[in-house]
Amino acid sequence: MATDVDRQGMLAGLEKSKKVMEDAAEFGRSIADKVDKIYLVGCGAPNRIMLGLEYWIQYYSPSTEVRRYFPAEFMAQDPKRFDERTFVLLGSKSGTTPETVAAAEFVKDRPCITASVTQTADLPLAKAVQTAFLMGETDQAHTGMFMVMQALIGGFLAAKDGWNLHPKLMRSLAALPEAMVETQLATEARAAEEARLLKDDRNIYHVASGPMFNTAYVIGVCILMEMQWLHSYPIEAAEFFHGPFEILDANTPFIMMLGEDPSRPLMERVLRFAKKHTERIYVYDSRDYAMTGIDPEIRPIVAPYIVETALYRICVRLAVWHNHPLSTRRYMWKSEY
């Protein structure tokens, strides 16, 4: 199992997303006067990308209602405020996620605007919506989906609410792939050492607040739980003192993730408390990374992806310690579920 940073693979894997995000931004502008409600629909990691979108729409837009759904819940609930001024954005890296495709079919004949982000035009999700944004076949689909979706929402906010950070957002998203490579190279020594320290742990907790919870979920669930079969659980900082903090002890590792958005004080409170009771804390603070090319005003929006790319290096090395490749699955794609 290779552990080297794949600079060329990362950059090449996001090249098409860099181009497509320009079209997505223009699309966002074009629908702004037709939409009052945005429904974000996706499973797993795409749903957590949407958590960040939801956060920033709520923060910046005084005029738009936004809701985030898991597809099965969306169909079961069948929101009654759904109408012709609703925009439904669906995401699936594979483009075949059964529940997400079913949700796209569920709204297909309704008087709304639909779009999806996936990899190629032949995929069911791409065929089931009015407009599909295609990242191409890529191992960097998670970041690529974020770039395209965030550009779309940025364009929408610029046209609907006069959001003046859109040009800075687009330049920063274009710079994100290089900033991620920069981050991984800068964190290699730390990742190797911390993977060694964590290699015998079967229980790991990940704590984050606001849009950074996307990273806690993706690292904790989509990688360490799914790909390493660890008891690896993400906790929202706002909930930490309402039950989860009782699990804190001197032996259990906690990975703490701090961003630069308005929710940061929630994580700072968690960290202050944790330091009183354990030394097994691994702090990943987006302020520690250069993020070359990222505008200071956009850093809070892209910070989760910078921290995620740093933490991913630990996951790669844990896979080697465990002799358990990240591609290994027990049930996913192998059984009926």
Whether 38 maps to a domain, the answer reads: yes
Number of domains observed in the structure of the chain = 2
Whether 265 maps to a domain, the answer reads: yes
Can you give the pLDDT at residue 4? 86
Whole-number Å distance between alpha carbons of 171 and 24? 14
Structure-model confidence comparison of residues 184 and 329, the more confident one: 184
Helix H segments across 113-140? Answer: 124-127
Task: Please check whether residues 160 and 185 belong to one and the same domain.
Answer: no
pLDDT tens by residue, 240-274: 999 999 999 999 999 999 999 999 999 999 999 99
User: CB of 4 within 8 A of CB of 184?
Assistant: no
Task: Please check whether residues 159 and 217 belong to one and the same domain.
Answer: no
Can you give the pLDDT at residue 334? 79
Q: What percent of the chain has pLDDT over 90?
A: 94
User: Which structural domain range is residue 265 located in?
Assistant: 180-321
Task: Please check whether residues 211 and 112 belong to one and the same domain.
Answer: no
Task: Please check whether residues 87 and 51 belong to one and the same domain.
Answer: yes
Task: Please check whether residues 309 and 199 belong to one and the same domain.
Answer: yes
Task: Please check whether residues 187 and 316 belong to one and the same domain.
Answer: yes
Task: Please check whether residues 142 and 15 belong to one and the same domain.
Answer: yes
Model confidence band, residue 221 (pLDDT cutoffs 50, 70, 90):
very high
pLDDT tens by residue, 274-330: 999 999 999 999 999 999 999 999 999 999 999 999 999 999 999 999 999 989 888
Task: Please check whether residues 158 and 193 belong to one and the same domain.
Answer: no
Q: Residue 112: in which H helix or E strand, if any? A: none
Query: How confident is the model over 141-149, as a mean pLDDT?
Result: 97
Looking from the CA of 118 toward its CB, the CA atoms found within 13 Å total: 28
Query: How confident is the model over 2-24, as a mean pLDDT?
Result: 92
User: CB of 270 within 8 A of CB of 237?
Assistant: yes
Task: Please check whether residues 28 and 160 belong to one and the same domain.
Answer: yes
